[in-house]
Chains A and B, each alone.
Chain A
Amino acid sequence: MLYQFADVFAFLILSAAGLAIVFGMMGVINMAHGEFIMCGAYVTVGLVHAGFPLPLAQLCGTLAAGVIGVIVEMAIVRKFYTRPLDSLLATWGLSLVVTQGMLILVGSSVAGIGTPPGSFAVGDYTFSVYRLVLFAGALAALGFVYLIFMRTKFGVHARATMQNAKMARALGVPVGRVYALSFGIGAGLAGLCGALYAPTMTLIPTMGATFIVESFVTVVVGGSNVLLGTAPAGILLAAVRTSLNAWHGQIIGQIGMLIAVILIIRILPEGISGFLTRKQR
C-alpha cells in the first residue's frame, strides 16, 4: 500500500510540477503541457533506439523539452502575458498542431523500449525496481525546484518577478529572460516526466493526454506554488486514491480522487498554497 502510494504520488508530482511552475510564475495555463511530456518521451525513446543508454537518453529528453520550452516562450507565449485567455488558446493551438504534426511525421506509434527489468519481493507481492526510480525522480524534481527557486540568485529574481514584475524590473531584473528560463524549467520538468514514463508506456502522439487530467487536478488543488502547493496536493490526492484503490479498485480510486478535488476547491478556493501563505501572514 505504501508502495502504491509512492507510485501514485510520483505520477502526480512528475506530471504536475512543470505545469505548476509555468502557472505560478507567469499565470499562464499551458495547454501544451502534455506535448512537452510527449517531447521528453519521444526524444528518450528515439535515442535509446539509436543506442544511447537509458539514463543519458532521459537526460537528453528532459533538456530537449526545456530548450524547446525556452524557444516557445520567446516565440509565442511572451506575446500574451497581459492576456491570459489568449495564452490559453495559443498554447492549446500549439498542442493541436504538434499532436497532428507528430501523427503525420512519425505515424501513430513508435516501438517501445520496455521497462528496465528488476524486481523485488515484499511478503507476497513483487514490485518493479523501476517504480522506485520513478518515486526517486519525483523527489528529485521537488528537490531541484527547491534548490533553483529558494537557493539561487536566479530563484530570488524569479520570485521577485512573480510577486511584482514592475518593481523587479525597476530594480534591474531582466524580466523577459527570467520568464523564458522559468518557462524552460517548467517545460523541462514536463520533459522529465515523459522521459521517466517513456519505458512504461506505448508512445503515441496523443500520449500527453494520459497525464493531463492528473496534472491539472494536482495544480488546481495545490494552487500556484510548487513547493507549498503541488507537493502537499500530491501527498493528499495520492493518499485518497491509494486507499480507495485498495478498497474498491482503480475506477473508484479515480472517481474518489476527483470528488476529493471538488471538495477541496470548495473549502480552499485558492488551493493549498494559497491557504498556507495566508496563514503565514
Chain B
Amino acid sequence: MKDLSGQPLIVLKGVTKIFGEGQAAVEALRGVDLRIDTGEFVAVMGPSGSGKSTCMNILGCLDTPTAGSFLFKGVDVGQLSRNSRALLRRHYQGFVFQGFNLLNRTSALENVELPLIYRGISAAQRKERALRALETVGLKGWERLTPGELSGGMQQRVAIARAIVTGPTVLLADEPTGNLDTARSREIMDLLTLLNRDSGITIIMVTHEPDMATYAKRIIHFLDGTVALDEKTGGKN
C-alpha cells in the first residue's frame, strides 16, 4: 500500500451504483461526487432507500461502483485486486454494519478479537485490547456472552467495539445508534467524538436522528441517490 500523504482521504467522482438489470434495475446512487479529508466527523442523513448504505459499502471497499471512481488516499480502489482491497479494509478501516454482522455462537470477546487476529497481533495483546474496546462501549462483564445472549443494543455495541479495536484511520458506521436508547446513543456519540478529537480517527456515520447528527462537524444529505445538501456545522467538541 503506497502512502500518499497530502492526498485527501476519500474522493468519490461521479459514483453510480445500479442493482439488477433491465426492467428490474434500481439506480441506488446516481453520480455522487464527494471529498472527505482526514480528521473529519461526517454524518450522512437522508430518507430510507436514498442510497446511504450503498454509499457506505462502497467507501468500505465491500462493494464496487457501477461507474465512477473511488479514490482512497489517492489510490483508485477500483483498480485494486481483491487482496489489496482486503488489506485496505484490514489496516485502515473499521466498519459498523447496519445489521451488526457478528459471528453467531461466538463470544463478544472473540468477535472483537477477530480483526486483531487478521492483523497478526499477539494473543496477550489481542485480549487486552479487545477487553479495553468492550469496556469503552460499556460492555465490561459481558465479554463471555454470545450475540444470541445479548440484546440488540448490546450487539450493536459489540459491533462498534470490533470496528474501533484496531484503531482504524477511518470508522464507517451505518446507523451505529439505531438500536440504542437516547442515553446510550449519547454515550456512543461522546465516544465517537472522543475518538475523532483525541485519536484523529475520521468518522463517517449514517444516522436518521438529527440529534445525533449534531455531534458531527459536517452533515451530508442524500436524496434519491445523490448528495442533496452538504453542510458544515459546529459539532460538539
- Say whether A and B bind each other: no
Which residues of B are interface residues toward A (Cβ below 8 A)? none
